[in-house]
Amino acid sequence: AKEAGRGGHAFFERFMFDEAEDNRLLEQDVREALSSNGLTLAYQPIIDASTGEIVAREALLRWRHPRRGDIPPDQFIPIIEDAGLIHQIGDWVIREACAQAARWDSRMRVAVNISAAQLSGAGLSKTVLGALASSRLEPSRLELEVTENVFLGDDAATLTSLERLRALGVRLVLDDFGKGYSSFGYLSRAQFSKIKIDQSFVRGAAEGSKDCVAIVHAILALARGLGVETTAEGVETEAQAEVMRCLGCAQLQGFHFGRPVPVEEFAGADEAVRHR
Ligand code: C2E
Ligand code: CA
Ligand code: CA
Ligand code: CA
């Protein structure tokens, strides 16, 4: 048993070492990607549930590693944060998304994800202000998506940051709503314009889970009461879309309506719609 214990320990240490080394290599690679346009944005449409029209697009960070291929943001964003690069990269995302959206139909919004680490710096509102000014994007066309994680750290600093952003006229969105445990409380802390209902409830409700239906129903009632918009996330089937529509969710997003794609794949389409 002792032997096995030691063996297990050695294995664990090796595993830890490899992961640390892995992250260090990735960190060098991401620095390189940043300076050589290796990071890009893909945009996923958000649909008006009653008209089917695209009302917004969410910008999602993409990294195609020269040897490892596509690395998902869930995996590389923590590395970026540990490396202290999140502000640099996050700022680029905001400027790039605003510059893109300024070329779209003037009713279309753009959504950008903001991590807790980004919000904790004092510079975010300056970046947003600069991005709005240089792109000439209407502030109300920019949505900043945060998860309730942002409330786990220094509450006062977070609230100040969120208020500063709202004062610029941008819209704050509470992402992954319902995924955590005490989401309802967070809604009263900052003035959110929209909440995004986590995919797990969309799935559950369509599979006939009474609990999920009840939760979605409650979230939508709450949102109506607060005058807050709602988007259902991760809608993959028409059945899921139908359930969310019936329950009264105003906007839908998911692979059923469109995957995140590079701007080249839809550029010009908005123009075509406008001149039709
Ligand atoms: P998120 O903000 O919740 O974004 C939605 C994720 O769900 C995206 O994954 C999207 O591709 C995926 N998705 C959309 N529709 C469907 C669907 O119908 N089914 C399924 N299974 N998935 C769907 P992605 O692009 O891998 O991003 C993962 C997370 O990484 C995002 O979750 C967000 O938290 C973070 N992220 C992405 N881009 C950025 C960024 O520029 N900055 C920051 N701070 N975080 C980002
Ligand atoms: Ca999001
Ligand atoms: Ca989400
Ligand atoms: Ca998520």
Any atom of ligand 1 within 6 Å of the Cβ of 236? yes
Distance 242 CA to ligand 1 centre (A): 22
Compute the C-alpha angle 255/258/259, nearest 5°: 70
For the segment 29-82, what is each residue's pLDDT rounded down to a tens digit? 988 998 888 999 999 999 999 999 999 999 999 999 888 899 999 999 998 998
In the numeric block, which tokens belong to residue 201? 């409830």
**Ligand 1 site-directed mutation target among 44, 60, 110, 200, most atoms within 8 Å of CB:** 60
CA distance 239 to 161: 39
Exposure b/e, 235-256, CB count within 10 A at least 16 = b: beeeebbebbeebebbbbbbeb
Distance 94 CA to ligand 4 centre (A): 18
For the segment 74-122, what is each residue's pLDDT rounded down to a tens digit? 999 998 998 889 999 999 999 999 999 999 999 999 999 999 999 987 7
Higher pLDDT, residue 219 or 27: 219
Kindly tell me if the per-residue pLDDT of 273 is higher than 60.
no
Kindly tell me if the per-residue pLDDT of 250 is higher than 70.
yes
Q: What contacts 85, CB < 8 A, 6 or more positions away?
A: 27, 30, 31, 34
For the segment 176-228, what is each residue's pLDDT rounded down to a tens digit? 998 876 667 788 878 999 999 999 999 999 999 999 999 999 999 999 999 99
**Ligand 1 site-directed mutation target among 30, 88, 113, most atoms within 8 Å of CB:** 113
Distance 60 CA to ligand 1 centre (A): 6
Q: Which atom of ligand 1 is nearest to the CA of 73?
A: 30
In the numeric block, which tokens belong to residue 154? 């220094």
* Short-list 164, 21, 76, CA closest to 144: 164
157 sits in the region (left: phi over 0; alpha: psi -120 to 50; else beta) called alpha
> What is the ipTM score, two decimals?
0.98
Q: For the whole model, what pTM was predicted?
A: 0.91
Distance 1 CA to ligand 4 centre (A): 42
